[in-house]
């Protein structure tokens, strides 16, 4: 079975401590290096998603967008 360009599927096994190993090909494709922090998003109906590293910047830009100019959180 061939995958559409840019689409991937991998499997990972959950260890006794709840840890998973991200397959090497996935780490290479997405530039994941030791020490990187990953954001895990969960939805009980849809599952778990791990957005790409750029999602941090996008998320923080939305959360901390100072639209009214008062710089208060």
User: Residue 21, class by beta-carbon neighbours within 10 Å (0-12 exposed, 13-18 middle, 19+ buried)?
Assistant: exposed
Extents of the domains making up the chain: 24-63
User: pTM of whole model > 0.85?
Assistant: no
Contact 40, 56 (CB under 8 A): no
Q: Tell me what the pLDDT averaged over the chain comes to.
A: 84
State what percent of residues in the chain have pLDDT above 70.
Answer: 88
Write the burial class of residue 44 (CB in 10 Å: 0-12 exposed, 13-18 middle, 19+ buried). Answer: exposed
Check residues 67 and 36 and name the one with the higher pLDDT: 36
Integer Cα distance of 63 and 73 in angstroms = 9
70 pLDDT above the threshold of 60: no
CA distance 26 to 49: 14
């Amino acid at each position: 079975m061939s995958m559409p360009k840019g689409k991937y599927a991998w499997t990972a096994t959950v260890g006794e401590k709840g840890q998973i190993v991200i397959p090497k090909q996935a780490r290479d494709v997405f530039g994941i290096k030791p020490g990187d922090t990953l954001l895990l998003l969960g939805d009980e109906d849809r599952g778990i998603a791990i957005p790409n590293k750029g999602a941090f910047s996008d998320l923080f830009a939305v959360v901390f967008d100072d639209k009214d100019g008062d710089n208060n959180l």
